[in-house]
Chain A
Amino acid sequence: MTTIAEDTAPLARRRRRWEGLPYLLILPTVVYLGVFFVWPMIQGFGLALRDESGGWSLSAFETMVDDAAFGDAMSFTFLLILVIVPIQLVLALGMALLLNARLRLGGLFLYIFLLPLAISDLAAGIAWSAIFTERGYLNTILEGVGVLEQPFIFLDPTSRTQLVIAVAAAEIWRSTTFMMVILFAGLQAIPKDYTEAAEVFGAGFFQRVRHVIFPMLKPSIQVALLLRLIFAFEVFAVVIALTGSGATVLAAEAYKWQATNENEHVAAAYSMVILGLSLAAAAVVLVALRTPRERRLR
C-alpha cells in the first residue's frame, strides 16, 4: 500500500528531508489512540478472561454461552446479515450506477440518496416502528388500498421471521447509502474508455455491467462488503427500538450485561465475540474477493 504522500508526489520530490517534524505531528494522534483505543482493547481482553475475584478464568465466556439469550442473539445476528447484505449490495450498486448515469435532477437525487448517512440507527428504529406498528402507517396504507381487511401485526414478538424482516427493512433503508458511496467512488475511478470500448464492440448495458464494470469494481465491493459486515455485527439500537425485548443481538446483550446486570466480564466476553466475528468476516472477504496483482486496474 502506498502512502498518500507517495501517491501524489512526482518521483524527484518524493523524499522530503528527514526531520523529527512528521513524527512530532503524528505523536498526539498516536498517543491518543494508544490511550483511548489500544489500551481499552487490551483491557477488554483482560476483562473477558477474568472473573469477579480478579483471577484468570473462562467463567465469563461460560456464563455467556450458557445464557439462552446467547444463542438467540447469535442466530438473530446471522439471520439479519444473511438477509441484509445481499440485498444491500445489489441496491447500493444500483444506486451508484444511477448516480453515475448523470440523470437530470441528479443533484437532487444525490442529496436524497445521501440522507440516510446522517440517520442514526436509533432514529431509523423509531421511524420504522411508527411504520410497522399495529396502528402504524404501513397498515394504514395496506388497509386503505384494500390489501388487508384489518391491521396486520408486523412486529409479532413470537414470529422471528417477521422481526428479522422488520429490522432488515430498517437497516437496509438506513445503511445502504454508505455502501453506495464506496461503490460510487469506485465507479468514478473506472475510466470511461473501457465502457465506451465495450459499447463500440456491441455490449448492451447489462453486459457492460457484468463484463466491464463489475470486475473492475471488485476492490470497491470488497471494501464495502468488509465494512458492512463489520458494522452488521455491531447492530444495536435499531433492534431494540423495533422489537423491544422481542429479539436480541450480540451488541444488545453486551449492553444489557454491562448496564443492567453490571457484569463487565460477560459484557467484555460478548464484545470479544463480536470482535472475533468481525475479524473472521474481514478475513473471508479479503481472501474471497482477492484480485491478483496482474489483473488490477493499476
Chain B
Amino acid sequence: MSEIRFEAVRKSFGKFHAVDGVDLDVKDREFVVLLGPSGCGKTTLLRCLAGLERVDGGRVYIGDRDATDLPPRRRRIAMVFQSYAVFPHMKVYDNIAFGLRMQKERKPVVDERVRSSAGLLHIEELLDRYSSQLSGGQRQRVAVARAIATKADVLLMDEPLSNLDALLRLEMRAELKALLQSLDATTIYVTHDQIEALSMGDRIAVMNQGRIVQLGNPLEVYDNPADTFVGGFIGNPPMNFLEAEVSVNGGSSVAKLSGGSFELTGGTAALAGHNLLLGIRAEAIGVETAPADGLVRATVIVLEPLGSHNLLTVRCGEDILKVSIQPDLFPLAESDVWLRLEPARIRWMDRDTGVAIHTGTEEFATQTAVITS
C-alpha cells in the first residue's frame, strides 16, 4: 500500500516560500501530476517527498509511515531527475543495477531485473555503453530503467521529458504512460507542460506560488478551472477572459461586454452587481458571418491556419479573443464576424479575486470511464 499524504507542508529558502502550505492525498497506484509555471513549488514539493529537501513545516506520509524525518534511501522511492543524472563513470548496466546493489540483492536477481527493465525501455543493446556514448533520449531511458528496476512503491519524476526535442517528447509521452500504467507504483510527475499533464495524469494538482490551486482530473481542470490562473495556464490557447457585467431585465439576465451584449439563460441573476470576468474557451465560441440576435460583433485581426482548425484573433470592443473555427473558413483581416458565446460554456470569475463563481447553469464535460468486462 503506497498512498502518499502531504499535510500542511511548508518549505522556504530564506525569505522565499517555495511551498506554502500544501495538503494533498494521493491514492495507491494513482498517477498524479504536479503542474505549474517555473517557481510555483512543484519541484520543491517533489524533492520534499523524496527527502532531498527537509520540510520546514507539516508532515509527509508514504504508505502508512511518517516519512518526514527519513533520509531518501529509507523512503522506498525511486526518482527520475530532469537532467537524468546517469552516472557517467559506470556502464548502463551498472547504472540500472545501482539501486539493487545498494539493497544488497543477489547477483542473479540483479541481472534479471536489470535486463527486464532494460527490455521494457528497449535499451538492451546499450547495456555495455557509457553515458557519454548515448544520446539524450537514450540517457533518459536509462534513467527510467534505473528507477523502475528497484520496484519501489513510489515513483517520482521531475520533468523527465523537458530536455527532449519536440518529436521525441511526443513519442516518449505515450510510451512512458503505457509503461507506468503497467507498473504497480504510485507515481508523482512534475511538469510545466500542460499538454503533458492532461495526457498523462489521473489527477492534476495545479500549483501556483507554493500552493495547490486546483486538484482534479484532466477534464475537470480543463473545463472547470478554479480561477483565472488555471484557466489561463491550461489549454492551448489559454482561456479567454473578458470584463463583463450582468444586469437583470425583467425575467432575463443580460451579459454586457465592451463589444456588445447578449441574453443569458436563467439562474444567472445572482451575478448581477458584481465585477465579473467572462471566461470562455476558444473552441466554445461560435462564429457567424452575418449579424443575428444574441451575437456579438468582433473584428478579425489575424488568422492563423493550423491545419486541423483555424485560430482567429479578434477584437471585440476593448477585448481581444482567440476563437477556433473550422479549417475551411477564412475570414479576412479587418472584416467583421459575429460571435456566439454559448452561455453553458461560460465560466464566470470574480474580477477582483480571479476565483470562479458557480451559478449552477454550467455544463461540464465529464470523464466517464467505460468499463468493459
Contacts and interface: CB of A to CB of B under 8 A. Distances in A.
Given A12-B13, A12-B43, A12-B44, A17 B18 contact: no
A160 interface: no
A14 interface: yes
Interface string B32-58: 000000010001100000000110000
A102 interface: no
B14 interface: yes
Contacts of B44: 12
Nearest to B44: A12
Contacts of B14: 15
Interface residues of B, number: 8
B54 A12 contact: no
A12 B53 CA distance: 10
A17 B69 CA distance: 13
A79 to B, nearest CB: 53
Contact of B54 (A11, A14, A17): A17
Contacts of B54: 17
A15 B53 CA distance: 9
Contacts of A17: 53-54
Contacts of A14: 13
Interface in B1-54: 13-14, 18, 39, 43-44, 53-54
Interface in A41-94: none
Interface residues of A, number: 5
B152 to A, nearest CB: 22
B58 to A, nearest CB: 16
A11 B14 CA distance: 11
> A11, A12, A15, A17 — which one has the most chain B CB atoms within 10 A of its CB?
A12
B236 to A, nearest CB: 26
A110 B316 CA distance: 67
Contacts of B43: 12
A12 B210 CA distance: 12
Interface string A1-42: 000000000011011010000000000000000000000000
A74 B44 CA distance: 61
Contacts of A11: 13
B321 to A, nearest CB: 36
Contacts of B13: 11-12, 14-15
A11 B15 CA distance: 13
Nearest to A14: B13
Nearest to A18: B54
A274 B173 CA distance: 67
Contacts of A12: 13, 18, 39, 43-44
A55 to B, nearest CB: 53
A12 B90 CA distance: 28
A180 B33 CA distance: 53
A2 to B, nearest CB: 15
Contacts of B53: 17
Interface in B264-286: none
B204 to A, nearest CB: 21
A20 to B, nearest CB: 15
Nearest to B11: A12
Given A12-B18, A14-B13, A15-B13, 8 more contacts: A11-B13, A12-B13, A12-B39, A12-B43, A12-B44, A15-B14, A17-B53, A17-B54
11 contacts: A11-B13, A12-B13, A12-B18, A12-B39, A12-B43, A12-B44, A14-B13, A15-B13, A15-B14, A17-B53, A17-B54
Interface of A: 11-12, 14-15, 17
Q: Which 10 A-B pairs have the closest CB atoms?
A: A17-B54, A15-B13, A12-B44, A12-B43, A12-B18, A14-B13, A12-B13, A15-B14, A17-B53, A11-B13
